[in-house]
Amino acid sequence: MILTLTLNPSLDRTIEIAALDRGAVIRAAAAHLDPGGKGVNVSRALLANAVASRAVVPFGGDEGRQLVRLLAEEGLDMVTVPVAGPTRSNVTLAEPDGTVTKINEPGTALAQDELDTIADAVLEAAHSGDRGADWVVASGSLPPEVPADVYASLCRRFAGAGIHVAVDTSGPALSCALGAAPALVKPNAEELSAATGMPIRCVGDVVEAAATLRAAGARAVLASLGGDGAVLVGPDGIWYGEAPVAEPRSSVGAGDAMLAGFLAGGGRGPGALAQALAWGAAAVRLPGSRMPGPADIDPGAVTVGSPDPARRLSSPALPSPPAPALP
């Protein structure tokens, strides 16, 4: 079983528009309201493909109750943890060419006792039922005021209970988590660049940056590169793969579908990378943050092999310049 933990879940409204015209009145072609949050999406993708999963979901306020209601309607196996603050709402504007504009609320703070209750809920869920959890996915942004080392603390606690931990986050939370030796981290190109301070212009840069994350503690790195595919760097080797999408509709949740496919495919090696790419590409072909099922997934569109270090990325990532010194 694969457990997921989302500290900052959301209600995600995706609005399809012809074009984003600032200052204008824009009429939507379609709109979708979906439960959101990276770990929630991983569990939804696993559910859509009949892979055993359970989501641990903190929730609060009217938005939180609606989130739980939507997840229950989908039939998601979940453990809900009431918290004081309201669940956030996010808005995505999706254009026909695949351009996505996201407006994400920050969420509300979690007190230390709430974080402790959530961690206890994960461990209880991991050891309940006929089969324990093989993986815990700790993913997504942190709510305001939550310490940056929270994923590192959770990783040590879960790994100490014999569970593999996958971390999908960014910024200081990712940097702190590396020191806790997670079994897997799943950065995108921008997150790789920010974590290492390296420019990511080609596949060779991705491999070098992923090796840097491994040297800092991560045992394996699955680097998602959007339309450029993905790179897997782990103890068993290095692989590159891609799954082109002719008509993208929405990239929202595609990285989460990719991570779900990777873990469902065994969590290591080229076979898992191929399944990850197939699930991620299928998500891009769907509207909103819908998760793909078997009928949406085309394994034949995936190619996996040795990386070509010189291959250029269509969307390079550069580290942010340092902030100017204060006078």
Q: Which are the catalytic amino acids?
A: 256
Q: Which one-letter DSSP state was computed for residue 268?
A: S
H helices present in the chain, as ranges: 38-48, 61-74, 112-126, 150-160, 171-178, 189-196, 203-215, 254-264, 269-284
Residue 61, Cβ neighbours under 10 Å: how many? Answer: 15
Do 116 and 90 meet the contact criterion of CB atoms below 8 Å apart? no
The position carrying tokens 């959101």 is 36
**What residues are paired with 138 via a beta bridge?**
5, 167
* 171-178 and 189-196 helices, crossing angle to 10°: 70
Residue 56: HSE in the Cβ half-sphere, 13 Å Cα cutoff:
26
